[in-house]
Amino acid sequence: MTKTSSTSSSKSSSGKEDTFAIVEASGQQFWLQPDRYYDIDRLKANVDEEISLEKVLLVKEGGKTTVGKPYVKGARVQLKVMEHRRGSKIIVYKMRPKKKTRRKNGHRQELTRVMVQSISAG
């Protein structure tokens, strides 16, 4: 029983796992953690370019949590563009019963894969 308590305390003592931010990008809100990659809607940025998001709604670093009204002043999330890609295909099928009207269409969302470099509360 002491082994499980020591492993859980070692997890909470590392700074990377406790740091996260909730940001607004491309009309959606994302929960971001450092050194992880995320797929968001297509950004106008080149591959290997670094961009920063300043619409940060919440930042948690260690034991300190900062909530914005609506945004945290001075907070910034640094992102690095890894690649531009397309999402999986979604089939859209519309049918009107008893009218012999059918329409089949597909859609693939344009995405940008970004790596979170750093999160700073300002």
CA distance 85 to 82: 10
Detail the DSSP E strand segments found in 62-109.
Answer: 64-67, 76-86, 90-96, 101-107
* pLDDT tens sequence across 81-110: 999 999 999 999 999 999 999 999 999 999
What are 11's two structure tokens?
A: 């997890």
Are 71 and 55 spatial neighbours (Cβ–Cβ below 8 Å)?
A: yes
- Map out the domains of the chain as residue ranges: 2-120
| 37-68 pLDDT, tens digit each | 999 999 999 999 999 999 999 999 888 999 99
Query: 23 and 55 in contact (C-beta within 8 Å)?
Result: yes
In three-state secondary structure terms, 17 is: helix
pLDDT value for 33: 95
pTM of the shown model: 0.75
